[in-house]
Amino acid sequence: MVPVLFLAESFLLGSVPFSVAAGVLLAGVDPRSGGSGNPGATNLGRLAGRRVAMVGLAGDLLKGAVPVALAPVVHPSPALAGLAALAAFAGHCWSPFLGFRGGKGVATAAGALLVLAPGPALAAVGVWLALVALTRRASLGAAVAALVVPVGCWLTTPGAAPWAIALGLGVLLRHRDNLARLRAGTERPV
């Protein structure tokens, strides 16, 4: 029973809309009201600036990392950490606080993966940063990072590979509209 409650708590933590809260409290801006309309840190950065976006990003990273870090304390099963990562990711993407809508899940997945598989996750963050710097397209960086991290896990942290694949597929699915705009050349720059 304790692991089931823990996963529910992981979902609820994941569903806390930190970027929306940061935008409203620090800049009087709800990221859902402009730009791409997405409640995440990238859109918040477009509307409220880098400093406010960094606060939202930190919250989104932590809500992925904290459940994964606490999972071994709750139950010794290694699967619980991966399930907690998926629960937090799902909470971010389908937040009950936002009418079961949410963001793309990149930062929440990254936070979870930084605990599950730090080396591959840091490599994926580096890929994301490089692609965003070169192309000014966060969605392209997210899509490529979502493909890189499972390969890195398979090579260095095989136990985390199934969770990295699941999170990567989730990120790619959440970015399907962005990927279509990338192909059409109409994706918004950061």
Predicted local distance difference test score (pLDDT) of residue 2: 79
Residue 36 lies in a domain: yes
Q: How far is CA 117 from CA 66, 72, 108, 180, in A?
A: 14, 15, 14, 30
What pTM, to 2 d.p., does this model score? 0.95
Number of folded domains in the chain? 1
Expressed as residue numbers, the domain containing 97 is: 2-184
Q: Are 75 and 55 in contact (CB under 8 A)?
A: no
Residue 189 lies in a domain: no
Q: Is residue 50 part of a domain?
A: yes
Handedness of CA 55, 60, 63, 68 (dihedral sign): negative
Neighbours of 99 (CB within 10 A): 8
Q: 179 in a domain, yes or no?
A: yes
For residues 46 and 189, what is the distance between their CA atoms, to the nearest angstrom?
A: 9
Cβ-contact 64, 18 below 8 angstroms: no
Residue 190 belongs to a domain: no
Q: With contact defined as beta carbons under 8 Å apart, do 140 and 127 qualify? A: no
pLDDT tens digits along 84-126 = 999 999 999 999 999 999 999 999 999 999 999 999 999 999 9
Structural domain contains residue 45: yes
Instruction: Compute how many other C-beta atoms are within 10 angstroms of the C-beta atom of residue 130.
Output: 13
Enumerate residue ranges in the chain where pLDDT < 50.
none
Do the domain assignments include residue 108?
A: yes
